[in-house]
Every structure is written in structure tokens, then in C-alpha cells.
Chains A and B, each alone.
Chain A
Amino acid sequence: MITCEEAARLISDSLDRKLPLRQRVALRMHLLMCKFCPTFRQQLILLRDAASRYREEAYTPP
């Protein structure tokens, strides 16, 4: 079982590249077992959504 620290790193990595199978499975298992890392993942996904909205040239935040 990977630690939360390792899982958090993999969550970030998964936003930049496709994880190798072994890491992907380890992360998914961790996310099923852990109460906290899914929240961290949700935060990073929100960050990404926010950033992609922010980068659209015409978009000025409300």
C-alpha cells in the first residue's frame, strides 16, 4: 500500500502524463481506501479547471 505522500505525488503526476499501469492501480486502490487523498485530488482538479478557464484569453474572471 502506498502512503498518502506517494499518492499525492501520483495524483499530481497523473495530471501531466499517463501513469504506468502499476502506479495507476496503486493510486486507484489508495483512493478507495483513503479518506483524505480523494479530497486532495478534488482540489487539484478544481485548480486545473480554474487555470484552464483563466487561460482563455477572452475570459476575465467575474
Chain B
Amino acid sequence: MKEEQGNLNPDTWLKDHGDYLFRYALMRLRDKTAAEETVQETFLAALKGKDQFKGQASVRTWLVGILKHKIMDYFRKSSREFSFSELASLEDPSQDLFDQNGRWKAEPVPLRDDPEDVLEKKEFWKAFEACISSLPKRLAQIFALREFEGLRGEEICNLLGISSTNHLGVLMFRARAGLARCLETNWFGKKE
């Protein structure tokens, strides 16, 4: 067997990738302990499987790939906790958006910049992360699975034990509306 582990040096993993992986996990799990655990499991799994690292991807990409699996495992293991009644009683950041006749109570504020420019701004990303962190935990997890991991509705329902895609639709709406409202306050509506 040839040694093909040129730049695979476990000693520097924690220093080089620890923060990044932790942040990655935290944005998806919204739980510090769970994020720490999955990152730790990732490093252990990487250490055990380092012979499988072929060097065709960067070390970080390889570690992120392992971390993704660990995050999915975490959701699978904890899916029992997502009972229907809990999901139904989730805090709803969209509940004050409309009046009884289904009209906007406060009208959505238009973007003040071109969307492309918005995504280049540091402050936008700060607000984006802050707003995701301010969402109720379950909604943030669901949003992350859909929009960061790109899972389809059926996959998320299976993973989390949500009974129907219709129900998931309600939760996605709450998450998105909550984020949009938060970004309005922290970003769209702000004067420079």
C-alpha cells in the first residue's frame, strides 16, 4: 500500500477546521451540545477512516461530508422528540402578520438594494445568522434541512417524523416569514 496521506495531518484538524465545523453544525442543529457532539464524532470517524481519504477533495470538504452524516444521524435519533402536538404548539413568528381578514398588518418592506448586492454585504450575513439564531429551534432546524441541506419535503418529514408535507408547509412558512420579518428589522428596512 502506498502512503497517500500527504496533507492529512490529524494534529492540525481541530485548529484548522474545528471552528468552521462547529459553526456549520450549530447553524443546522441550533444546539450547542449537539453541535459539539457531532463535531467530536466527526473527528473520531475521520481519524478511524483516514485511509479512505483519497485526496481528491480538500480535507475540509471531506470532514464536512462526514459531519453531514453525523447531523442526519442526530436528527434520526432525536426524531421521536418531534411529536405532533409539540410541532403544533411551536412558537409562531408569523402569527401577527395578518389581520382577521387575511390582510397584512404591517406591509412587507421592499429591499433597498439589488438582491445581488445584498448578498455581497457583510452586514447582511451578520443579520442573516442572527435572524436564524433567533428563530424557534425546531423551525431553524427545519429551515436548515430544507435550504442548507437541500432535502425534499418528504425526506424532512421522514427524518423528523412529521406526519404530512402539508404540515411541513405550515412550518416552512412560519420559518420563512419569521426570517423575512427579522431581516426587515435588522436589514431591509434599515437606513444607511
Q: A36-B104, A45-B115, A49-B119 are in contact. Are A16 and B146 (CB under 8 A)?
A: yes
**Contacting pair A47 B153 (CB below 8 A):** no
Question: A60 — which chain B residues lie within 8 A by C-beta?
Answer: 20
Count: A-B pairs, CB below 8 Å: 105
| A12 shortest CB reach to chain B, Å | 4
Q: Which of B20, B118, B125, B165 contacts A46 (CB 8 A)?
A: B118
Q: Which of A34-59 touch B at CB < 8 Å?
A: 35-37, 39-40, 42-55, 57-58
**Contacting pair B109 A39 (CB below 8 A):** yes
| A10 shortest CB reach to chain B, Å | 9
Contact with A along B164-192 (1 / 0, CB 8 A): 01001100110011011001100010000
**Contacting pair A46 B97 (CB below 8 A):** no
Chain B residues within 8 Å of A, Cβ to Cβ = 20, 27, 58, 60-61, 64, 97-98, 101-104, 107-111, 115, 118-122, 124-125, 128-129, 143, 146-150, 153, 165, 168-169, 172-173, 176-177, 179-180, 183-184, 188
